[in-house]
Amino acid sequence: LTARALPRAFYDRDTEIVARELLGAVLEHRVGRSVVRGRIVETEAYLGEHDPACHAAAGRTPRTEPLYGRPGTAYVYFVYGMHWCVNVVTRAEGLPSAVLIRAVEPLDGIAFMRRRRQVARGLRGLCDGPAKLCEAFAIDGQENGADLSRGPLRILSGESVPNRLVQRTARIGISRARNWPLRWIVARAWTRA
DNA sequence: TCGAAGATTGTCT
DNA sequence: GACAATCTTCGAG
């Protein structure tokens, strides 16, 4: 694989464009001797302080600080007392927007994922949820604030996904701004597992 | 296959 | 003190 890491400029664009373009890109984490990779198949956009569902709606706090950082920064947060979720900060500095990576399709390091996830067989259930993929990829608070254009946790360019395979829907799992159509998914992504 | 409910803790009101 | 960008288990159909 000769894929390159997406440059910082990739993220310094409109958040909805980034969320769409991230489909098909490859999330990679090098941990110790292992390399884990997965194809991004589901994303959600969170549009800054005026988006009631975005964490930045609470303003600039220690928790939301990474959202105010440079594009391409990882924002990793803890939810429900037990789960981690990973986002990519977008746009220019000072505009606290991000894209939540909700699901990836396992590509490499599947044994590593399976060990961490305790999933017996099949690819389904390994990475098909924002907290599941963090568990599988060994992503936690340590990666919060990391530079995704270089370092052990990166996003590589992948095969682009044609429009006919992309569905756009409302975001899920949230209570505020429920009907904003800011979720992108690759149709039939992990049914081939 | 689906829906309900519990787990568990950081963060903000 | 309430609640959260979730997952898992468990019971019913």
Confidence at residue A180, expressed as pLDDT on a 0 to 100 scale: 92
The gap between A82 CA and C3 C1' (Å) is 14
The single-letter DSSP state of residue A76 is E
Is the minimum distance from the CB of A82 to strand B below 7 Å?
yes
Is the minimum distance from the CB of A183 to strand C below 7 Å?
no
If 0-12 CB within 10 Å is exposed, 13-18 middle and 19+ buried, where does residue A182 land? buried
Summarised one tens digit per residue, pLDDT across range A88-123 is 999 876 689 999 999 999 999 999 999 998 776 677
Q: Which residue is nearest to nucleotide B8 (CA to C1')?
A: A81
Confidence at residue A3, expressed as pLDDT on a 0 to 100 scale: 79
Structure confidence at residue A130 as a pLDDT band (50, 70, 90): very high
Mean pLDDT computed over every residue of chain A: 91
Rounded CA separation A56/A173 (Å): 17
Q: Which of A124, A147, A162, A139 is nearest to A24 (CA)?
A: A162
The gap between A81 CA and B11 C1' (Å) is 11
Summarised one tens digit per residue, pLDDT across range A155-172 is 999 999 999 999 999 999
Confidence at residue A119, expressed as pLDDT on a 0 to 100 scale: 72
Q: Which residue is nearest to nucleotide C3 (CA to C1')?
A: A80
Confidence check: pLDDT of A192 > 80? no
Nucleotides of chain B within 7 Å of a protein C-beta? 7-13
Structure confidence at residue A190 as a pLDDT band (50, 70, 90): low
Nucleotide nearest to A67 (CA to C1'): C5
What is the arithmetic mean of pLDDT over A18-42?
96
